[in-house]
Structure 1
């Protein structure tokens, strides 16, 4: 998959996820409620559609980790710097899953993987290349070891 196609599919995923998350609208009554199906998460969100899951898989984005895997991943990030997770484990998981997509998209460009990781995880706290390398390794080890 070339870079433009990857970007286009990623944009479509974001748009689809946004539409799914918004709810409401004239056709929303046609969708089954998450509570009725039991497929929702603790926050009440519906499970991602099969199309989104398939697209994420093609892009190298793994499914959300189970609780034990997430705990090990968060512990690994906290060992690097407590500022990475900063009390927001779901955000750290989301960023990690996206980083798996970067690993998949640029398998032979480790420097790009590190730079994209730095950009993705930096916010109020800026991470240097050495920290970003460690974050990338934690993501790879815990969230997407097959990439």
Structure 2
């Protein structure tokens, strides 16, 4: 019987201690939070690089190609649209992003064409093809990406 009383007393004391701790945390923030200000503009963290301001530099640092521009961009988008207009489906920037991602898959699986095709099929979806466009079109997409965005991979 005494054991049950001791457990009850300890449990009650523990709850009181926790309740006492939680009520003190609702006080206004102390000096440690005084450095937080909403300036209305995002500020980079101390020591952060400007890679987010220059995505091509970030891609280069990651070993990926720069975003295609001008004739290279046109050749890429035209190549995809020649396969099937639903591949790009009016989302040029999304297609560019997917193309660069596909270059990463080519680099990660150098020489493993079946794996590259598999990854391409998974990555290149559209509203009418949520599971991808199939292996045949994925292989064609892969070829367009490889020749227009990252031919050195």
Same fold (TM over 0.5): yes
Structure number with the bigger relative contact order (C-alpha 8 A, sep ≥ 6) is 1
Q: Distance in 2 between matches of 1:49 and 1:112?
A: 26
The 5 Å alignment of 1:125-144 reads: 125=129, 126-144=132-150
Is 1:87 aligned to 2:87, yes or no?
A: no
Q: 1:102 to 1:69 in 2, by over 3 A?
A: same
Select which of 113, 116, 119 maps to 2:119: 116
In the aligned structure 2, how far is the partner of 1:110 from the partner of 1:24? Answer: 45
How much has 1:49 moved relative to structure 2?
7.4
Distance in 2 (CA, whole Å) between partners of 1:123 and 1:77 is 13
Q: Which has the larger radius of gyration?
A: 2
**Aligned match of 2:70 in 48, 67, 70?**
67
Secondary structure at the aligned position of 1:98 is classed as helix
Structure 1 unaligned regions, length at least 5: 1-22, 31-44
* 1:1-147 map, 5 Å: 24-25=41-42, 27-28=43-44, 46-48=53-55, 50=57, 52-57=58-63, 61-124=64-127, 125=129, 126-147=132-153
Following the alignment from structure 2 to structure 1, what is the Cα–Cα distance between the partners of residues 55 and 75? Answer: 24
How many residue pairs match? The answer is 107
CA RMSD across the alignment: 2.5
Unmatched 5+ stretches in structure 2: 1-39, 47-51
